[in-house]
Amino acid sequence: MNGISWARKLVLVFFPVVAGASMAWAQMPSHVPIPKDNPQTPAKIELGKQLYFDPWASSTGTVSCNSCHNIMANGTDNRPVSMGVHGDLGDRNAPTVFNAAFRSVQFWDGRARSLEEQAKGPLMNPVEMGMPSEVVITARIKSIPGYRKEFDEVFGGPDPITFDHIAQAIASFERTLITSPSPYDRYRRGDKSALTSAAQRGLKLAQSAGCTTCHSGPMFNGPAEPMGTGFYMQFPLNSDNEYVKKYNLTADLGRFEVTHQDADKHMFVVQSWRNVEITAPYFHNGSVKSLDEAVRVMAKTQLNQTLTGAQVQDLVAFLDSLTGGFPHITMPRLPETPNTTPLGQ
């Protein structure tokens, strides 16, 4: 290591508790934040699950939310960037939907302040699900008798199928996609056998190297922020290294694309370390295939440190200990489309 870096100094200022122990990283939260204007109900959650899996929510009837965020696996598609309607490719890596309910903002650039707002984005993105307007989306859903019945039961009122209600249902289902405590959480609860020696060394190294400047809190994605606020960090911070060019890390201007403010160039939402073991490839452009390489890249671009092979192995062992169990999810039965096709609606 290169002594105490500037990042480590920031850690001691903003997260002084980590100097003595791993308290900067709390255990897995026990409750999911629920907005007052979208309370959870079993019927709404089940409706949201159907919509999540239903490719009729896309213009071609071929792409669903699950296409890019596969919850029968790890909540991603493990591609550098996802493929949408007509085989078009996006320009950013798809984050896992598991534990997304704990993020204070959504998307790499934080442009959505809630899961409800996020759910609307892919539906109308021409590269993702390709629906041309809210009117077309709601007309498509209204054309399916089963959805008319379910929306009436869940939302009621004179016009239960609205774009807002579609997003609310999907978001309600996504708030159930929470992983169970990881070996690290068990370690924090007192089971010292839950972490290997390598993982324990990696935990200490992550603290001393300065990783907690960004990856603090129970989700390892920064300090707890009010919903809709967001916690951002410049990436890459240090551009004078081989990785920036090799992985094309500066092509994407990050949050600047949303705010058009120079201060937001290359600013991105800090991603969670939870389940990072199984969500390769890494970074906003999905350019790095392995976790050990991602660790090297982060050490150099963010902390200006070059790690030894043993240090990389220990950090990977610690990151692997943050993988939790996945909830049991059954595939939904989607509403039928008797005597017709929803295409063209």
* Residues with catalytic roles: 128
Among candidates 94, 111, 117, which has minimal Cα distance to 256?
111
Residue 158 has φ and ψ, to the nearest 5°, of -70, -25
Distances (CA, A) of 136 to 42, 124, 160, 161, 317: 27, 10, 15, 12, 48
List of long-range contacts for 224-229, beta carbons under 8 Å, 24+ apart: 224/104, 225/104, 226/104, 227/33, 227/35, 227/104, 227/113, 227/114, 228/104, 228/105, 228/113, 228/114, 229/104, 229/105
DSSP string, 154-167: HT-SS----HHHHH
Write out the two tokens for 292: 């050990």
Whole-angstrom Cα distance, residue 277 to residue 74?
A: 10
Whole-angstrom Cα distance, residue 232 to residue 25?
A: 18
Q: How many CB atoms lie under 10 A from the CB of residue 108?
A: 24
Gyration radius (Cα) of the chain, Å? 21
| Stretch (H or E) spanning 117 | helix 115-124
Whole-angstrom Cα distance, residue 164 to residue 166?
A: 5
Whole-angstrom Cα distance, residue 42 to residue 173?
A: 9
Provide the 3-class DSSP secondary structure of residue 335.
coil
* Backbone φ/ψ region at 298: left (φ over 0), alpha (ψ -120 to 50), beta: alpha
Whole-angstrom Cα distance, residue 162 to residue 154?
A: 12
